[in-house]
Structure 1
Amino acid sequence: MRATTKIAALSAASALALTLSACGNDDTESTIDDAQTTAGDTMSEATDTMGDMMGGGDGVTTVDDVFGSACDAIPQDSADQGSLDGMVDDPVATAASNNPLLSTLATAVTEADLVDTLNDTDAEYTVFAPYNPAFEALGQETLDAVLADQEQLTDILTYHVVGERLDRDGILDGGTLDTVQGGTLEVTGSGDDIQVNGATVLCGNIPTANATVFVIDTVMMPE
């Protein structure tokens, strides 16, 4: 009888020990899982913060991010206001006016009375900027007529402007972009080979004080 009682007591003690051990393992695993989750969240936050510090995710670029075959045509002397280094600190209308590739565009912006709007440093833009030969391709008669019609000119120019700042990845991400004019642009391609409504990006990711600029080879016409 005593032996039976002792065996029963030992069995109960063993069962209790196993139960406590199992509970301890669950608590330990839960603690490890919580720690891993916290560490993962912290790493993700750190990555996001680092990305923001490096300009990733906000459309802000640096001269090191610029790409495209026509970038070599931009003045290389960093002291030149029309160079990439010179454009960085100027708002986009001023930056375009200093760039020899964009002198006709700068004239058009002035004629449309959009200088102050585009130079607003409280706003951010993505600008698809036709270079001079793109305007020349319209023909002098057509170009003169467009420059003389402020309403039509404003419609055309604002069709080249997106009301948020995007880099190359940003414009490729959605495939379509809403313009300030109200129409949409279709972006296709990848890497350094990008088209916007069929216009080829000749030099992209150009940084200015309030915009990221993509020089294109065609004046895009809104419907």
Structure 2
Amino acid sequence: MKKLGTVLMLTVIIIASSFTIKPTSVHETKVDADIVDLAISQDFLTTLVAAVKAGDLVDVLKGDGPFTVFAPTNDAFAKLPEGTVESLLKPENKAKLVKILTYHVVPGKVMSSDLKNGQMAKTVEGSSVKVTLKDGKAMINNATVTAADIEADNGVVHVIDTVIMPPM
């Protein structure tokens, strides 16, 4: 029985590692997965995954793209006022959730080297986000990019430390 448990655990680790981020250089990472599967494979993006599922955006983000996604971490969602995430995940708030999530997506593949200080990037939601480059860091509105250029099969993900909100 103990041997079976060990074999099962090793199998889970092998399967999980097939989606784990694999560095290809200091700044770039490439994974053999689409944006959704990439997010699913990362423990620090579980809230984002739940929100994408609640907003029925899985099929869109599994599409051909390319997409650039500014992906807020679980800690970023935790910064929101208490009860916000739970409220947004309710079916009656789906339109607001989709508006927020699509504000985190820019059409096309925008690598960090493409970003310019003061640049405005139009999001899928329709509004624009502002790029600020300062002291070697990139910011999207008030969110700092903590990991950049994580390439997926259908675009690129930049991890951010704050949920950015569209004009409401």
The amino acid across from 1:93 in the alignment is V
Distance 2:41 2:136 in 1: 25
- The answer for the alignment partner of 1:163 in structure 2 is 107
Aligned-pair distance for 1:186?
A: 0.3
In structure 1, stretches of 5+ residues that fail to align are: 1-77
Is 1:204 matched with 2:142?
no
User: Higher strand proportion, which one?
Assistant: 2
Aligned-pair distance for 1:127?
A: 0.5
Aligned partner (choices 82, 107, 120) of residue 20 of structure 2 = 82
* Identical-pair percentage: 36
How far does the alpha carbon of each residue in 1:81-109 deviate from its partner, in whole angstroms, 9 at most, with x for none? Answer: 23236961111011111111111101100
Quick one: structure 1 residues 89 and 218, their matched pair in 2 at CA, closer, same or farther if it must change by over 3 Å? same
- The answer for the alignment partner of 2:56 in structure 1 is 113
- The answer for the alignment partner of 1:186 in structure 2 is 130
Distance 2:39 2:113 in 1: 22
User: Higher helix proportion, which one?
Assistant: 1
- The answer for the alignment partner of 1:9 in structure 2 is none
The amino acid across from 1:125 in the alignment is F
In structure 2, stretches of 5+ residues that fail to align are: 1-15, 24-28
Q: How many corresponding residue pairs?
A: 145
Contact 2:35 2:155 in 1 (8 A): yes
Structure 2 length as normaliser, TM-score? 0.80
Structure 1 length as normaliser, TM-score? 0.61
Aligned-pair distance for 1:143?
A: 1.1
SS at match of 1:120: coil
Distance 1:220 1:205 in 2: 19
Quick one: structure 1 residues 109 and 125, their matched pair in 2 at CA, closer, same or farther if it must change by over 3 Å? same
Distance 1:155 1:118 in 2: 15
Contact 2:68 2:156 in 1 (8 A): yes
Which structure has more relative contact order (CA 8 Å, sep 6+)? It is 2
After superposition, the CA RMSD in angstroms is: 2.0
